[in-house]
Amino acid sequence: MKIERWEPGRNQNSPPGCEFCGLPVYGFSAAEQPSYCCYGCRFAASIAAAGGEEGQNRWAMTRLGLAVFFAMNVMVFTMLLWSQPATPNDSLSRIWYDLARYACLLFTLPVVLLLGGPLAEDAASELRRWRPSLSLLLVVGVAAALVYSTFSLLAGSGHVYFEVAVTILVAVTLGRWLEATGKLKTTEALRGLQRLLPDQVRKLRNGVEELLPIDELRAGDIFRVLPGERIAADGRIELHEAALDEQAVTGESWPVVKRPGDRVLSGTLVLDGPLIIEATESAGQGTLAQMVDALIHATATRARYQRLCEQISNFFLPVVAVVALVTLAIHAWFGNPAGGLLAALAVLVIACPCALGLATPMALWAAIGRAAQAGVLVRDGDALALLARATTICFDKTGTLTTGAAEVVEFATATEIDRQDVLQIAHALAKSSTHPLAIAVSRYAGCELSEEPLPAHNLRSLAGRGVVGRIAGLDCPAYLGSRSWLLEQGLTWPSDAFAYFADSEMAETMVGWDGLIRGQFLFREELRPGVAGVVGELRATGLQTLMLTGDRRPRAASLAADLELVVKAELLPEAKLDEIKRVKRDGPVAMVGDGINDAPALAAADVGIALGSGTDISRHSAGVCLLGNDLSRLPWLIDLSRQTVSAIRWNLVWAFAYNIAGVGLAAAGWLHPVFAAVAMGASSLLVVTNSLRLAGFPDSKPLEHPKDRAPIAVATSRREGRSSQSTVASLAAEESLAAGSVQ
C-alpha cells in the first residue's frame, strides 16, 4: 500500500467538502471534479499541485506581479486625476487629464485580463453547480465599475472608477495568494511526514540484496538499511547496532542506540552502521502511516469554532448580497447611483468571509503540524482547544509517572538459610515470568549471582499470585509470589520472621519452599526521568494535578508526596471513571495514561493524553499521543494549546469585528472600495501571520542528555528502563486485549 497523499479535505465519512480546507461545500458537485469552498482554496490547491511543475506556479506569480505593476500605473494616473481640481482649469490641462483617464483605461485592461480571468472562471464553475459565490458577486461588481467608467470616459463626463476595479482584483488575488501561501506553510509539517519513507528498500532474499520499490516489502521480510537512510517499515533489528534519529516520529532530539531485538520505527533515520531489520509490518502500515492517517483525520474533523463559522457562513453570502443590493437601491433612490455602486461594491469587498473561514482551520493546522514535529500527535482540533481550557490534569501512576519497571531495593532472608541459595531459587522461578516484579527479581539476582540460574521445570504462573515450580536440587515445589498466596499454600513464617522481614508499605514478593517463607524482596517503582519537574511546571501553569491509581494507598501516597500531587488511590477502574466525572464538574479534565490499560479513563476525560505506545497509535482512544514517551512535552503542549486557542480567538474576534464594522461603513458609503480592498488583504494577512506564528512555536527548553538527568527514585540507566518498560507495556497490552477492555 502506498501512503495516501495528504489531502486534508478528503474525508470519506463526511459530506463532500472543499478539496483543500475541508469546509463543507453546498450545492451539486460533480463527483469527478474537485470542489472548493472558495477561490482561495482553489488557488492554494493549484499552487500545491504545481509543487512539482514550477511552471504553473511561476505563471500565477508572474501574472500577479504584472497585474501589480499595471495597477501601480493606474494608481499614479488616478492620483493625478484626484489632484485635478487643484490645478487651473485651462484647455491644455484638460487635454492632459483626458489623456490620464485614457491611460487609466489602458493600464486597467491588462489587469482585468490577467486577474479577472481566473476569478471569473471560479465564479463560472460555481455557477455551473447552481451555487452563487462571492467570486460571482465580485465579478459582477468589478464589471459594473468598469462598464460605468468606460461609459463616463467615452461620454466625456462623470467620474471614472478604473482604480476601484483594479484594486479589487489585485487585493482579492493578493489576499488569496497570502492565504494559499499560509495554507501551504501550515500544512508543510504534515506533508513533510509523508516524505520520510524512502521510495526503495534493500530487501534481502536468501542473503542477496535486491533494491525493490517499498510496496513490495511485507511483514516478515528482512531488509538492510545503510547509514543515512530512513527505515522503510516498522521492524525488529536482526543484526548489528546503530544510533537512530527518531526525531521525526517521536520528537526526541537525542539519538537512540538500538541493538538486535530492539524495535525500530518506520521513517526514522539510521545514523551509523548498517542494520539488518526484520519487518513486522508491511511498509504502508507502520507507525508513520498510522501517524499520517491520524493527522489526515485530525485536519478533516471540524473543531467547535469551525462549526460555528460554518453556521454563520451558511447565511453569510445571501445576507451580503441583500445588503449590497439594498445599499445600491437606497443610494440610487437618493439620486446617487454612482455612489451607490461604489458603496455596494465596498460592501461586497469588505464582507469577504475569508478571514472568518480561515480563522480556525489555519491556526489548528499550524498547531497540529507543529505538535507533530515535536512527536506529539493531536488527533482532533477539539482536543487541543479543550486542553487549553483544562483545569485539572490527572495522571495514571504505573507506566505514566513511573516507567512501570520495579527495582529491588531490599532483599532479606531468614538467618538459618544461605542468602545465595534463596536468591538462586528466586532467580530460577523469576526468569520464567514477565511480571514486572519478577523481572526486577531476575535483574537483581543476575547482578548478585555469578552462575547461571538453576534449571527449573513444571513452572506455572498464577495471575496476581506468583510463580510455582520445581527447581533442580529441591524435592518440593518452590514459590515466588505474594505473602498471602504463600500463606495460602501452607507455607509458614520462620519463628523469628519479624526480625528479618520488614512489614513495609513497599511492594514485596516472598520466596519460600518446604513449608517455610525464606526470603523477602522489597521494590520501589522507578519514576520516569524528569517527572517531578514536569509536574511542578504544570502546577505553575495553574493546573490542578491529580494522581489516580489502583495501587495501595500508602505506596501511592509516598510517591505522590515526592511529586507533590494530590492522590486518589485504591481505585478500581470504574472508580477511576467516577473520579474523573467528579473532577469534570470543575472544568475540563485532561487524563494522562499509558494508552492501553487506561483506555476507558482516557476516553472519559475531556482530553486523553496517551503515552507509552509510540508504536501503536491506532489502538487507543486518546485525543493526544506523546509518541516520544516524554512527559516533558506536556507543559509545552499545554502552552501550545493555549497559544492556539488564543490565536483562534483573536482571528475570530478580528474577522467578526472587521466584517461587521466594515459592512456598516461601506453600506453608509463611507468606505471607498479601494480602501475596502486594501483592508481585506490586510485582514487575510493578519489571520495568516497570526496563525503561522504557531507553526514556528519555539521548542521546549532543550532536552538534556539522558545521562545528565537525575532520575528521582533509583539511578538505573535509561535504556534498561525503556526496554523493560516496553516489555511491560506489551504484556499489559496482551492482558488488556484478552480482557477485552480495549475498544
Partner 1 sequence: MIELPLIFVAGILGTAHCLGMCGPFALLIGGVSRTWSGMLGRQLAYTTGRLFTYGVLGAAAGFCGARLAALVPTFINIPAALAISAGLFLTYQGLKAAGWLPASVGLQWRLQPAAGSCLASGFLGQFLRQPGASGVFLAGLFTGLLPCGLLYGMLALATSTHSVPLGAATMTVFGLGTAPAMILAGLSGRLVGLATRRRLFAAAAWCLILTGLVSVARGVSYMSISGQQPAGCPMCQK
Cα(529)–Cα(398) distance, integer angstroms:
14
Nearer to partner 1, 342 or 430 (CB): 342
Residues that bind partner 1 (CB under 8 A): 57-58, 61-62, 65-66, 68-69, 72-73, 75-76, 79-86, 159, 178, 181, 336, 339, 672, 689, 692
Cα(482)–Cα(462) distance, integer angstroms:
11
Cα(216)–Cα(606) distance, integer angstroms:
41
Cα(136)–Cα(153) distance, integer angstroms:
26
CA nearest 358: which of 13, 20, 663? 20
The CB density around residue 143, as the number of other CB atoms within 10 Å, is 14
Instruction: Give the number of C-alpha atoms closer than 13 A to the C-alpha of residue 568, restricted to the C-beta side.
Output: 17
Spell out the alpha helix ranges (H) of 397-543: 419-430, 436-448, 483-488, 497-500, 531-540
Contacts of 107 (CB under 8 A, 6+ apart): 70, 71, 73, 74, 77, 162, 166
- Integer Rg of the chain from CA: 34
Spell out the alpha helix ranges (H) of 449-491: 483-488
DSSP 517: E
For 261, the 3-state DSSP assignment is coil
| Total residue length of the chain | 743
All three cell numbers of 741, joined, read 477492555
Question: What's the closest the beta carbon of residue 64 comes to partner 1, in angstroms?
Answer: 9
Cα(345)–Cα(138) distance, integer angstroms:
8
Question: What's the closest the beta carbon of residue 386 comes to partner 1, in angstroms?
Answer: 30
Nearer to partner 1, 370 or 672 (CB): 672
Catalytic residue among 122, 221, 234, 396: 396
Question: What's the closest the beta carbon of residue 530 comes to partner 1, in angstroms?
Answer: 34
Backbone angles phi, psi at 12, to 5 degrees: -60, -30
Nearer to partner 1, 15 or 85 (CB): 85
Spell out the alpha helix ranges (H) of 229-303: 247-250, 287-300
Cα(186)–Cα(476) distance, integer angstroms:
68
Nearer to partner 1, 15 or 88 (CB): 88
Contacts of 739 (CB under 8 A, 6+ apart): none
Question: What's the closest the beta carbon of residue 336 comes to partner 1, in angstroms?
Answer: 7
All three cell numbers of 687, joined, read 489571520
Nearer to partner 1, 101 or 555 (CB): 101
Nearer to partner 1, 86 or 463 (CB): 86
All three cell numbers of 257, joined, read 542506540
CA nearest 381: which of 290, 287, 305? 305
DSSP 264: E
All three cell numbers of 404, joined, read 512501570
Question: What's the closest the beta carbon of residue 87 comes to partner 1, in angstroms?
Answer: 8
Contact call for residues 410 and 440 (beta carbons, < 8 A): no
All three cell numbers of 516, joined, read 517455610
- Say if strands 235-239 and 208-213 run parallel, antiparallel, or are unpaired: unpaired
Nearer to partner 1, 139 or 189 (CB): 189
Spell out the alpha helix ranges (H) of 116-245: 117-128, 134-155, 162-186, 188-194
Nearer to partner 1, 184 or 204 (CB): 184
DSSP 269: E
Nearer to partner 1, 81 or 385 (CB): 81
Chain mean position to CA 48 = 21
Nearer to partner 1, 88 or 464 (CB): 88
Nearer to partner 1, 50 or 212 (CB): 50
CA nearest 688: which of 733, 734, 728, 647? 647
Cα(592)–Cα(587) distance, integer angstroms:
16
Residue 219 class from Cβ within 10 Å (0-12 exposed, 13-18 middle, 19+ buried)?
A: middle
Cα(391)–Cα(389) distance, integer angstroms:
6
Nearer to partner 1, 58 or 259 (CB): 58
All three cell numbers of 551, joined, read 495501587
Question: What's the closest the beta carbon of residue 175 comes to partner 1, in angstroms?
Answer: 12
Question: What's the closest the beta carbon of residue 69 comes to partner 1, in angstroms?
Answer: 6
Question: What's the closest the beta carbon of residue 61 comes to partner 1, in angstroms?
Answer: 5
Contact call for residues 22 and 36 (beta carbons, < 8 A): no
Question: What's the closest the beta carbon of residue 690 comes to partner 1, in angstroms?
Answer: 12
Question: What's the closest the beta carbon of residue 72 comes to partner 1, in angstroms?
Answer: 4
Nearer to partner 1, 83 or 495 (CB): 83
Amino acid residing at 327: T
- Say if strands 589-593 and 607-610 run parallel, antiparallel, or are unpaired: parallel
Render the burial of 480-503: b for 16+ CB within 10 Å, e for the rest.
bbbbebbeebebebbeebeeebee
Contact call for residues 300 and 10 (beta carbons, < 8 A): yes
Contact call for residues 275 and 260 (beta carbons, < 8 A): no
Question: What's the closest the beta carbon of residue 317 comes to partner 1, in angstroms?
Answer: 28
**380 is a catalytic site residue:** no
Question: What's the closest the beta carbon of residue 73 comes to partner 1, in angstroms?
Answer: 8
All three cell numbers of 155, joined, read 461620454
Question: What's the closest the beta carbon of residue 670 comes to partner 1, in angstroms?
Answer: 11
Catalytic residues, by residue number, are: 396
